[in-house]
């Protein structure tokens, strides 16, 4: 039983490490070979551990078996071995036998090289994320399909197309040079940002999976922060942003998966340690003379970890949104900005700003209008929530809209008991009026 619990964990953590090292060694065109060797390694672990029990050092056992299987493969394929030997990535002198280096440093170097290979504009953002989850994070196709709310066949085809495109581009898997960082780091950070968002904002009901997506995005960003050549202000700002958002993860939804508005969140559920880490990385990001979108979004996220509704807080958030929209316009960022407008200038001003956006296919747009109109015109607020209900796709979002509609209709329409009391009062007064007339 113990191996049944440990193996899935090791598969997640060690699969990516061994695949990364083998891809680093073999090259992008031989990803399938690397994956087959690692899959065979874990299959062997399943069979041997079931009969003999767990080895004293399970990770070491996996590394040894993976090395042996790699060497056996190379011996059986002498032409392939000669090609690999000729193109060996390592700078160390070549020996008669290729060394399969699974040291901590080489694993870290391989992961860094794989990040820059996978996050390539030659493939779509969706494919980059799927490939990152598969090769860099050890997620299986069923898990990736769940994260994307699609079926396994779609993900299988997406991964294969992405791998083929990377092969066609003849990319080398190698850590970027300092000169390449300026050109390629933004693409890498954007992919990790999207990977985090896939977990944080996903409509999947699998909360554990969503948290794992966020954790993996943070792990990969940590790797960039810890490496000298990718330790840049924007990298620290992105990690700061992730920490601040993750700190409120457990407070954003209730036990039914329904969204809890920011002002109604239980502050005691916020993770103070992550807030402190976010502040630390934001301070580290404050060097240099360039401000990225990650700096601005991290600043917005920081102020949202300050629960007090002060004028300073919302003015800062509004100004950060203004600067963000100037730097890189986004309709969703513009929509989020209207919430800060409501706090600084009132709901009516926010409604004017929101309606300018005309995001008529977005249920969040109508949901926001519903909230803004709730204190002004309850009937109009209900109409907006009903439109949001029609556009919403997830069951949790629909449940949230129904709850708001129910609350507003209860306020508009008297309850049955109150309505009955009013009818009885009216009837009694009608009788009294008749007597007086007579």
180: pLDDT confidence band, cut at 50, 70 and 90?
confident
Q: What average pLDDT does the segment 93-115 reach?
A: 79
Contact indicator for 315, 335 with CB cutoff of 8 Å: no
Minimum mean pLDDT among 73-77, 78-82, 191-195, 201-205: which range?
A: 78-82
The Cα 17–Cα 36 span in angstroms is 14
Confidence check: pLDDT of 2 > 60: no
The Cα 294–Cα 280 span in angstroms is 15
> What token pair was written down for 270?
């916020």
Which of these, 225, 215, 243, 242, lies nearest to 12 by C-alpha position?
215
DSSP code, position 55: -
Confidence check: pLDDT of 430 > 70: no
Q: Residues 212-233: pLDDT tens digits?
A: 999 999 999 999 999 988 999 9
Q: What average pLDDT does the segment 397-401 reach?
A: 88
The Cα 254–Cα 276 span in angstroms is 25
Q: What average pLDDT does the segment 379-398 reach?
A: 91
Q: How far is CA 436 from CA 92, 422, 430, in A?
A: 111, 21, 10
Residue 30's pLDDT is what?
A: 86
> What token pair was written down for 274?
């992550």
Which of these, 315, 297, 251, 304, lies nearest to 275 by C-alpha position?
304
Neighbours of 411 (CB within 10 A): 12
Which of these, 147, 263, 160, 253, lies nearest to 204 by C-alpha position?
147
> What token pair was written down for 152?
């396994």
Contact indicator for 23, 114 with CB cutoff of 8 Å: yes
Residue 94's pLDDT is what?
A: 45
> What token pair was written down for 80?
């392939």
Q: What is the 3-state secondary structure (H, E, C) of 67-88?
A: HHHHHHHHHHCHHHHHHHHHCC
The Cα 407–Cα 402 span in angstroms is 9
- The three-point CA angle 414-407-259 to 5° equals 175
Confidence check: pLDDT of 316 > 50: yes
Q: How far is CA 370 from CA 296, 388, 414, in A?
A: 28, 9, 21
Q: Directed axis angle between helix 233-247 and helix 178-200, to 10°?
A: 10
Residue 317's pLDDT is what?
A: 97
Q: What average pLDDT does the segment 68-76 reach?
A: 87
5: pLDDT confidence band, cut at 50, 70 and 90?
low
- The three-point CA angle 145-213-118 to 5° equals 80
CA torsion 239→259→305→271, rounded to 10°? -70
Which phi and psi angles does 123 have, rounded to 5°?
Answer: -120, 160
The Cα 186–Cα 259 span in angstroms is 31
Which carries the bigger pLDDT value, residue 340 or residue 91? 340
Please provide the DSSP assignment of 339-396 as one string.
HHHHHHH-HHHHHHHHHHH--TT-HHHHHHHHHHHTTT-HHHHHHHHHHHHHH--SHH
Q: Residues 234-288: pLDDT tens digits?
A: 999 999 999 999 999 999 888 877 788 888 899 999 999 999 999 999 999 999 8
The Cα 112–Cα 102 span in angstroms is 14
427: pLDDT confidence band, cut at 50, 70 and 90?
low
Which phi and psi angles does 377 have, rounded to 5°?
Answer: -150, 100
Q: What average pLDDT does the segment 5-16 reach?
A: 81
Confidence check: pLDDT of 98 > 70: no
Minimum mean pLDDT among 60-69, 80-89, 274-283, 294-303: which range?
A: 80-89
92: pLDDT confidence band, cut at 50, 70 and 90?
very low
% residues pLDDT > 90 (the chain): 56
Question: Considering the domain 359-438 in this protein, what is its CATH number?
Answer: 1.25.40
Confidence check: pLDDT of 433 > 50: no
325: pLDDT confidence band, cut at 50, 70 and 90?
very high
Confidence check: pLDDT of 420 > 70: no
Confidence check: pLDDT of 340 > 60: yes
The Cα 210–Cα 295 span in angstroms is 24
pTM: predicted TM-score of the whole model, two decimal places:
0.85
Residue 236's pLDDT is what?
A: 98
> What token pair was written down for 112?
């860094």
Contact indicator for 5, 21 with CB cutoff of 8 Å: no
How high is the mean pLDDT of the chain?
Answer: 86
Residues 6+ apart with CB under 8 A from 13: 138
Exposed, middle or buried by CB within 10 Å (0-12, 13-18, 19+), for 431?
A: exposed
Which ranges in the chain are annotated with CATH 1.25.40?
Answer: 359-438
Which of these, 95, 259, 359, 136, lies nearest to 144 by C-alpha position?
136
Contact indicator for 412, 379 with CB cutoff of 8 Å: yes
What stretches of 30-87 adopt beta strand conformation (E)?
Answer: none
- The three-point CA angle 134-218-129 to 5° equals 35
């Amino acid at each position: 039983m113990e191996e049944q619990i440990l193996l899935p964990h090791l598969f997640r953590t060690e699969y990516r490490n061994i695949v990364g090292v083998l891809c680093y060694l073999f090259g992008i065109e031989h990803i399938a070979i690397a994956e087959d060797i690692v899959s065979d390694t874990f299959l062997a672990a399943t069979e041997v551990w079931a009969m003999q029990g767990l080895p004293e050092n399970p990770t070491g056992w996996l590394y040894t078996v993976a090395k042996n299987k790699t060497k056996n493969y190379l011996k059986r394929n002498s032409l392939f071995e000669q090609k690999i030997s000729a193109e060996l990535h390592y700078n160390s002198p070549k020996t008669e036998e290729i060394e399969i280096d699974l040291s901590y440093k080489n694993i870290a170097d391989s992961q860094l090289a794989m990040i820059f290979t996978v996050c390539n504009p030659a493939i779509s953002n969706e494919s980059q994320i799927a490939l990152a989850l598969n090769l860099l994070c050890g997620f299986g196709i069923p898990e990736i399909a769940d994260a994307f709310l699609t079926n396994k066949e779609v993900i299988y085809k997406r991964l294969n197309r992405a791998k083929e495109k990377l092969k066609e581009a003849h990319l080398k898997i190698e850590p970027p040079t300092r000169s390449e960082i300026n050109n390629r780091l933004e693409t890498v950070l954007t992919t990790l940002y999207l990977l985090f968002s896939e977990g944080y904002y996903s409509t999947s009901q699998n909360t554990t999976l969503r948290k794992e997506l966020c954790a993996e995005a943070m792990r990969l960003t940590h790797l960039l922060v810890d490496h000298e050549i990718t330790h840049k202000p924007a990298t620290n700002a992105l990690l700061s942003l992730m920490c601040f958002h993750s700190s409120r993860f457990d407070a954003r939804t209730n036990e039914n998966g329904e969204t809890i508005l920011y002002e109604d969140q239980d502050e005691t559920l916020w993770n103070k340690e992550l807030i402190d880490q976010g502040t630390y990385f934001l301070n580290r990001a404050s060097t240099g003379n360039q401000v990225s979108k990650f700096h601005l979004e991290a600043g917005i996220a920081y102020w949202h970890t300050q629960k007090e509704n002060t004028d300073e807080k919302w003015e800062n958030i509004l100004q950060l949104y203004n600067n963000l929209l100037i730097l890189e316009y986004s309709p969703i960022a513009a929509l989020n900005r209207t919430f800060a407008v409501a706090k600084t200038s009132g709901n009516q001003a926010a409604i004017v700003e929101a309606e300018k956006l005309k995001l008529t296919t977005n249920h969040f747009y109508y949901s926001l209008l519903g909230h803004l109109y709730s204190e002004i015109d309850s009937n109009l607020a209900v109409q907006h929530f009903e439109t949001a209900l029609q556009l919403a796709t997830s069951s949790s979002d629909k449940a949230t809209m129904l709850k708001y509609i129910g609350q507003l209709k209860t306020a508009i329409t008297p309850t049955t008991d109150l309505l009955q009391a009013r009818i009885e009062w009216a009837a009694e007064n009608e009788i009294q009026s008749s007597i007086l007339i007579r």
